[in-house]
Amino acid sequence: MSRLFTSLVLLLLIMSTAWSAPGDIHIAIETNRTALVIRVDKDQNPTIVHLGQRLNNADEYAQIAGNGKRGEDYTGLYNSAYTPAGGRNLLEPAIQVTHADGNPSLDLRYVRHESKAEASGVTLTTVYLKDPQYPFDVTLYYKAYQHEDVIEQWTTIRHTEKKNVVLHKYASANLYIPAHKYYLTHFHGDWANEMNPTEERLTEGMKLLDTKLGTRADLFQPPSFLVALNQPAQEDEGEVMAGTLAWSGNYQIAFEVDPLHNLRLMAGINPYASAYTLTPGKEFVTPSFLFTYSSTGKGTASRNLHRWARKFRIPQGKGNRVTLLNNWEATFFDFNEEKLTALFKDGKKLGVDLFLLDDGWFGNKYPRNDDRAGLGDWQENVKKLPHGLGYLVKEAEKAGIKFGIWLEPEMVSPKSELYEKHPDWVLKLPNRQEYYFRNQLVLDLTNPKVQDFVFSIVDNVVTKNPTLGYIKWDCNAVIYNAFSATNSNPSHLYVDYVQGLYNVMERLHTKYPTLPMMLCSGGGGRVDYGALRYFTEFWPSDNTDGLERVFIQWNYSYFFPSIATCNHVTDWGKQPIKFRTDVAMMGKLGYDIVVSKLDEKELQFSQQALKTYEQIKNVLWQGDLFRLASPYEGDVASLMYVSEPKDRAVWFSYLTNNRYKAGSLAPIRLKGLDPAKKYTVRELNIYPGTKSSINDDATTYSGNYLMTVGFNPKVDARRTSVVLELTESK
């Protein structure tokens, strides 16, 4: 009897929480094609009832029945818009706190919400929540970028309790997605082996993506992923969400298929070793979680993120970039003024805009002649550079190119004057051995004095050399020895570090808003939209082997636009220089080779390639990317960029398998063209002494033909990479 009664009560509870009732409030966060809908019931519980395609008629969101709830949600919280721990929650929370009086539970009820246009095409919806028993507020922010179909969300947490409150977990986003099946694509790697995809079906329970590396946080796993609904992710069809956390430190993204088989997602700073003590009246702001939802596959999702990043996130996303010659692989630490001045001339001869001097130019008491000393002592090494950086800047300019410099401002070598002078500026544990990653230690960016020092490293170099054209900011160590001598709260370290880093970057960006800066971290150890607020571009990997790069760049392209992806032609790998150049062109082109060692044809080819790049770079940087053939599925990788008016396109194809007969045996169908337009097809980057059969063909093809029948770029063992340009013929 009593069991029957309990069941009835439960059923009533389920019905009242799962279905909309008159008087419920529906908050629709909409872009042109996507909607995230929060329902607030009579008890002021905020739950997500829709995440997917936008409905034509917003009134109909009220008819959605409990977001696919297929049975008993004992708590009414499975689809909470921000799941509080304690109380009645049974699943992974978005937030977990201990109140000033020791109460370990949180209840969050809706107070009010507002929506306002922030800029043209950008709407900010703010949802205010509060604990009914405690002066504890959580505010959820959802910024909808209409045309790009991107939603950015973050949270602020504040209280006015009598004493401090401890935040154990404080996610940026909590989403709820109903589907029959969920396929997660996440990425893993290591140095020179970044961004390897794995797609797996999510089953009931939790899957965590996370990092605990502190700095260089993405070395093993970046905070970017795809979730495909009902079927594995397809390029041009099916429902796919692409998400990424804009945070350069420890993160945790939890995917939980709940007991009702709906997908819960909690993304934010990693709670690992990061309990945060919040003083009364102070606000904690979480980083942003960014996502786009596409009902036409991962191709659309990528293009949405690219457009958003160019327009709203990356500095000068619509602007120019410089081509450069870097000396890292050409000289490593072994250079002097004479060698460098010769390289400037080589750079000019090659046709790049800038020479980038890499690691090894500094340190005197402990010269930076290898990676075991000198980091932190940012004075020119007098033996290598007796006339200083200013002289090099001028010499480069005399040679007709600009000069840029490598810095690793967050780090210190134990063998350095900086470490001798300021041992307390370093992250290290009392009573413990120091552990080194690449023979170095991490400076304590939680300390404002250290922040000022790090700022001054970059500031001094730029102030002394006002025509400096580029900064490469490297970060080669993870956080070992996670302890700050001056930070009173050890569990704030990981969070405060990133905030300290952003503080420095923000100051630099404000002072030098147009200075091109590369975000590098021992390859691609730090590629996220938090840091990319301050950097014009990023370094995806030290692995510049042309073939490897096809794969690495392919995977970054899901989330990051080509204008921000630095690709350098180097001597890595067995591919011919044409192959390496063609691959590097699919982004921001640079070189890291000994120009004087190129033979006549190689030099001629490279010079012409840079001229061609100048002609096509706008299509590559601002156009839409279409992935045509995956290197994971066949012998050929094929990608194209189409200009916005669809009057030009550049199409790259590569042989990725060298078995007998491997190649593009059949035509490849193009994408993104205007079916009604006519296009001529012309081969670019033809190697001196070779001829393109494609260029003999004077036929024009309609976009309709090219997208329906396709065109064979004729990739085979003799033509391992092919670049074709399509131009509207009027």
Catalytically annotated residues = 474, 542
Is 358 one of the annotated binding-site residues?
A: yes
Residues 167-206 that bind ligand DGJ (CB under 6 A): none
Q: How far is the CB of 542 from ligand DGJ (least distance, A)?
A: 5
The binder of ligand DGJ chosen from 182, 335, 406, 651 (CB under 6 A): 406
Q: How far is the CB of 470 from ligand DGJ (least distance, A)?
A: 13
Three-state DSSP state, 510: helix
Residue 610 CA to residue 623 CA, distance in Å, equals: 19
The binder of ligand DGJ chosen from 73, 358, 395, 537 (CB under 6 A): 358
With CA atoms as reference, report the closest residue to 529 among 538, 521, 541.
Answer: 538
Q: How far is the CB of 406 from ligand DGJ (least distance, A)?
A: 6
476 near ligand DGJ, judged by CB under 6 A:
yes
Q: Which is nearer to ligand DGJ, 524 or 713 (CB)?
A: 524
Kindly list the strands in the beta sheet with 721-728, ordered across the sheet, starting from the edge strand earlier in the chain.
Answer: 624-629, 636-642, 648-655, 721-728, 678-684, 700-702
Q: Which is nearer to ligand DGJ, 380 or 474 (CB)?
A: 474
With CA atoms as reference, report the closest residue to 575 among 639, 652, 654.
Answer: 654
What does the DSSP assignment read for 363-419?
A: -SSS--SSTTS-TT--SB-TTT-TTHHHHHHHHHHHHT-EEEEEE-TTEE-SSSHHH
Residue 516 CA to residue 462 CA, distance in Å, equals: 12
328 near ligand DGJ, judged by CB under 6 A:
yes
Is 365 one of the annotated binding-site residues?
A: no
523 near ligand DGJ, judged by CB under 6 A:
yes
Is 528 one of the annotated binding-site residues?
A: no
Q: Which is nearer to ligand DGJ, 311 or 438 (CB)?
A: 438
Q: How far is the CB of 714 from ligand DGJ (least distance, A)?
A: 35
Contacts with ligand DGJ, 634-673, as mask; x by CB under 6 A: ----------------------------------------
Q: What is the CA radius of gyration of the chain?
A: 27
**What is the per-residue burial (b if ≥16 Cβ within 10 Å, else e) of 309-322?**
bbbbbbbbbeeebb
Residue 407 CA to residue 471 CA, distance in Å, equals: 7
Which amino acid is it at 638?
Answer: S
Which amino acid is it at 365?
Answer: K
Is 520 one of the annotated binding-site residues?
A: yes
Quick one: which segment of 294-302, 377-385, 516-524, 697-705 binds ligand DGJ (CB under 6 A)? 516-524
Is 137 one of the annotated binding-site residues?
A: no
Q: How far is the CB of 370 from ligand DGJ (least distance, A)?
A: 10
Q: Which is nearer to ligand DGJ, 414 or 523 (CB)?
A: 523
The answer to whether 617 and 623 are in contact (CB under 8 A) is: no
Q: Which is nearer to ligand DGJ, 238 or 522 (CB)?
A: 522
Q: How far is the CB of 381 from ligand DGJ (least distance, A)?
A: 15
Element (H, E) at 540: none
Residue 677 CA to residue 111 CA, distance in Å, equals: 54
409 near ligand DGJ, judged by CB under 6 A:
no
Name the residue number minimizing CB distance to ligand DGJ: 359
Is 424 one of the annotated binding-site residues?
A: no
Q: Which is nearer to ligand DGJ, 227 or 583 (CB)?
A: 583
Is 191 one of the annotated binding-site residues?
A: yes
474 near ligand DGJ, judged by CB under 6 A:
yes
542 near ligand DGJ, judged by CB under 6 A:
yes
570 near ligand DGJ, judged by CB under 6 A:
no
Own/partner pairs, 415-421, CB within 8 angstroms, 24+ separation: 415/366, 415/372, 415/373, 415/374, 416/363, 416/366, 416/373, 416/374, 416/375, 416/376, 416/377, 417/365, 417/366, 417/376, 417/377, 418/375, 418/376, 418/377, 419/376
Residues making up the binding site for substrate = 191, 358-359, 438, 472-476, 520, 542
Site of interaction with ligand DGJ (CB under 6 A):
328, 358-359, 406, 474, 476, 520, 522-523, 539, 542
